[in-house]
Every structure is written in C-alpha cells, then in structure tokens.
Amino acid sequence: MNADETINKVVFHIAIFASGTGTNTQNIIDHFRNSPKAKIVLIVSNNPSSGVLQIAKKENISYLVTERKKFYEDGYLAELKEFKIDLIVLAGFLWKIPSILTKNYSNKIINIHPALLPKFGGKGMYGNFVHEAVITNKETENGITIHYIDEIYDHGKIIFQIKCKVDESDTAETLSKKIHALEHEHYPIIIETLIKS
C-alpha cells in the first residue's frame, strides 16, 4: 500500500451538510484544519446562495448543491461513496434525510439541535423558531443536543447535551448567541470522539 493509499485509508473523511450561514461549518473546518486523523472532504447544501457554499469555495473544499428530486431518489449515495465519507455532520441542514442515507449511513449521520431534545424538536423547529419558542415558553434553561439521525425528525439516539441558563432579559437573539457559543465549543469535540481510526 503506497503512502497515498495509507494516508487515504487512515484519514477519516467527513462531509458537512448545511443550508445556512455556516458558522458551525467554519468552526468545524478550523478545528480539523491540521488534524492527522480527520478531514472535511465535502460540503453539501440545498441552498445555492448559502453562506456555507461561500465557505466551501474559500476553503477550497469540494461541494455539491442538492436537487430535491435526486436527493430523495438516491441520496447522492454514489457521490458520498466516491468521497469515501465515513461521517455525515449536519450543521443546520433543512431537508429531512432520506431513508436511503439513514440506512446506508446508520449511526454515521449526526445533527446538532439548538434545544434540549425532545423539547422544542420536530418538523419546523429550527433556527430562530426554536429560540422564539423557548422565550415564549418562559423557559429558565435551554441548551444544545447532538444526536444520531434516524428516519424521524430530531429523534435519533442522543450523544451529548449541555444546558445554559435562560434569563428573563433574554431575547431570541441573545439566546441564539448563547446557543451558538455552546455549539462552537462542543460540536468539534464530540465529532472527535466519533472518529474511528
């Protein structure tokens, strides 16, 4: 096995799926930039004008923009196999993952949710909708959940949760900042724990 194959074999290939700004995507790229163990090799987005695709171009990482019909027919499985993807990291990806992917990447797709699942989860509960619901409900705490993806929205086995206080003075905006800080602090570390050499 030549050096190149050895490198390919050793390095754990990660694909990030995202639809929005991409602060988590940038944070994960930064974390693994010089990692000998893992490499972000592909960025997938359903939104051609997303910030996350700008990040892919800036970081010179391969990317693909999903087309709904194909995504729900074949899940871009051939493309993911071509990149030898070992782990799919969802970082604000708004489309439900099709069963062709949950079956072929069982326990290899993870997601981060800006609340303490099962609270404030399910279809339509993403981004600011979650923060608004937490504030409206006058919750005194919230947090983040990192979990495996299965066939049901925000339902897979929980890997990690951490809480933060919600103050009376908090708004959806200030809460969002607290949540993003927790996400940036913990998501890369949890991904590290899932890397199998």
Q: Is 92 in the site for ligand GRF (CB under 6 A)?
A: yes
In the 8-state DSSP scheme, what is residue 122? S
Return the closest-CA partner of residue 156 out of 74, 94, 90: 90
- In Å, what is the CA distance from 91 to each residue of 116, 148, 152, 167? 16, 13, 17, 26
Instruction: Map residue 12 onto helix, strand or coil.
Output: strand
Q: Is 143 in the site for ligand GRF (CB under 6 A)?
A: no
The single residue among 91, 97, 101, 134 that binds ligand GRF, judged by CB under 6 A, is: 91
Distance (Å, whole) CA 33 – CA 101: 26
- DSSP per-residue string spanning 132-172: HHHHHTT-SEEEEEEEE--SSTT-SPEEEEEEEE--TT--H
The single residue among 110, 183, 188, 194 that binds ligand GRF, judged by CB under 6 A, is: 183
Site string for ligand GRF, 17-56 (x = CB under 6 A): -x-xxxxxx-------------------------------
Number of residues that bind ligand GRF (CB under 6 A): 15
Q: Which is nearer to ligand GRF, 11 or 89 (CB)?
A: 89
Return the closest-CA partner of residue 98 out of 113, 86, 109: 109
Contact set for ligand GRF, span 102-141 (CB under 6 A): 112-114, 127
Minimum CB–partner distance for residue 90 and ligand GRF (Å):
7
Instruction: Map residue 45 onto helix, strand or coil.
Output: strand
Q: Which is nearer to ligand GRF, 84 or 133 (CB)?
A: 133
Residues noted as catalytic: 113
* Site residues for ligand GRF per CB under 6 A: 18, 20-25, 91-92, 112-114, 127, 180, 183
